[in-house]
Homo-oligomer: A and B are copies of this chain.
Amino acid sequence: MARATALTPLGVAALSLLVEEPMHPYEMYQLLIARHEDRLVKVRPGTLYHAVGRLEEQGLVAATGTDRGGNRPERTTYTISAAGREAFTKWLQDMLAAPVNEYPSFPLAISEAYNLPAGVVVELLERRLQALQEQLDFLVSGEELLKKKGVERKYWIDVQYQQCTLQAEIAWVRTLQVQLRSGELPW
């Protein structure tokens, strides 16, 4: 149980699953994929084992028993501890209350865009707009599906958030494109 290093997003996702019930890393992996949580956290088998291992070192989870299904390699089941629950809700509260700069690369790219001729930028943005629109359509149809299935809305507010930010980006890129084409924005 070393000192409390900051939780990583994947660690948080793991804790969140262990709040529901004890399980082994591979089951976490399957659940995260099945629930499409890999759209919110980067999920990689190797990283997941490391993440859970670290959680154990920090005393946030504990290995409780090892069953072996068939003759497969032994699976270690982990259970969340009281400290784990606390760290989890603390992370949640911090992340909800305080915005953190995570340095997305698109802002950097547009801030450097003056290095390219205006015509090229217009064309590149066109491609981006297409991709963004596809993402948005996907989210909208996903929402449709969730509604139809009757899943409670509190379980998928993130879908609405992503829609909202996507729409904002689309709108902004579109006006930039227009201003570049018309020459309203000197390049």
Name A residues whose Cβ lies closer than 8 Å to a Cβ of B. 9, 12-13, 16, 19, 37, 39-42, 88-89, 91-93, 95-116, 120-121, 124-125, 127-128, 131-132, 135, 152-158, 160-162, 164-165, 167-169, 171-172, 176, 185-187
Contacts and interface: CB of A to CB of B under 8 A. Distances in A.
A37 to B, nearest CB: 8
A110 B127 contact: no
Contact of A161 (B135, B154, B172): B172
Contact of A107 (B97, B113, B161): B161
B105 A158 contact: no
A92 B112 contact: yes
A121 B97 CA distance: 9
B106 A92 contact: no
25 contacts: A12-B108, A13-B108, A40-B107, A40-B108, A89-B115, A92-B112, A92-B113, A93-B124, A95-B105, A95-B106, A95-B109, A96-B113, A97-B127, A98-B127, A98-B131, A99-B169, A107-B158, A110-B157, A110-B161, A111-B157, A111-B158, A154-B187, A157-B176, A157-B185, A165-B168
